[in-house]
Amino acid sequence: MSGDERIAHTGRVLDHVDNYSVVDCRTCGFLHLDPIPGNDKAQAFYDEQYFQHSKPDLLDEDEREVEHRNIFFDERLRFFRAHAPGRRLLDVGCGDGLFLSRASSDGWVTRGIEPSRHAAAIGVSRGLDVVHTTLDRYFERNHDGFDVIHLKNVLEHLPDPARALRTCYDLLVPGGILYIEVPNDYDLSQRFGVWLLRERKSWIVVPDHINYFDFASAERLVRRLRFAVTRRDTTFPMYIFLCLGLNFIKNKDLGKRLHRWRVRFELFCARHHLNRVRQFAYGLLAKVGFGRTAILYCQKPEKP
């Protein structure tokens, strides 16, 4: 896909929000906004507005829930240790560096890329190697090889996710691991839940989310770019609460309570040696394309 408007992005229109349509694009193979916001507009949004105005509480929430976040950070790092050829890790869209900090303490040589000046400055203040830039601009001057590239909640924001993945391919050493996590959108629980409660499709966030992936479309994209998918995973299927009549879209306080319930559940599993049971259950959900996020562990071929 490209942000170049000369490319024809044609397909069935699923929704209209503000001045955009959500298109099931035959050219790209996944859902995205039409028109696609340009790179300059997207970069300005994340540098100047995202953490400051659009998501002002996100970094504080990460800090408050760091024990919960570490459960999933440690799962990823265990996989990386077992399968990556070395210990050099790049976190693209690293925010204020919580994952980088955890990886550094686990013995990884880390670097982060963050388009938000505000978040990058926090990471630097923690003593982390965080560069305030975009992936494209970083690649213009750096071609050093990494053993792992971490892309959590990044591809949905980019005007050209295929280009970003090609850049990651070039930055990875042979046999390197690419971790991708994107929202799993337009799944059955979302569509049934908003139909049942006659609610808006809250997962459509303009202009924040440009692309709307599910497991199948994310996997098609990475395979097209020569990655092998070695593992699927997901996170707690929050939209199932809508299907139970719990309208967290309309009731924000209810949404916060349900989020806290989810955090307590996953902390309980971790503290009572039930993590493997939870992991097994989430793995089953991922196999059938269910769950709030689509997580793919991908590997660059060892030989061209």
Q: How confident is the model at residue 292 (pLDDT cuts 50, 70, 90)?
A: very high
Which two tokens mark 26? Answer: 């035959």
What is d(CA 304, CA 300) in angstroms, rounded to the nearest whole number? 9
Given this model, what pLDDT does residue 1 score?
A: 42
Residue with tokens 């100047």: 48
The answer to whether residue 44 scores a pLDDT higher than 80 is no
| Residue 53 pLDDT greater than 70, yes or no | no
Which string of DSSP letters, residue by residue, matches 146-177? EEEEEEES-GGG-S-HHHHHHHHHHHEEEEEE
Q: How far apart are CA 162 and CA 200, in angstroms?
A: 29
- Cis, peptide link before residue 207, omega less than 30° from 0: yes
What type of residue is 229?
A: V
The span from the CA of 128 to the CA of 294, in Å, is 28
Tens of pLDDT, residue by residue over 92-125, are 999 989 999 999 999 999 999 999 888 899 999 9
Three-point CA angle 31, 36, 39, nearest 5°: 125
Q: What is the pLDDT of residue 151?
A: 98
What is the sign of the dihedral through the CA atoms of 260, 265, 270 and 275? negative
pLDDT tens, position by position, 154-170? 999 999 999 999 999 99
Average pLDDT, the chain: 91
Q: Is residue 107 classed as helix, strand or coil in its secondary structure? A: coil
Over residues 161-207, the pLDDT tens digits come to 999 999 999 999 999 999 999 999 999 999 999 999 999 999 999 98
User: Please, what are the domains in the chain?
Assistant: 39-299 (3.40.50.150)
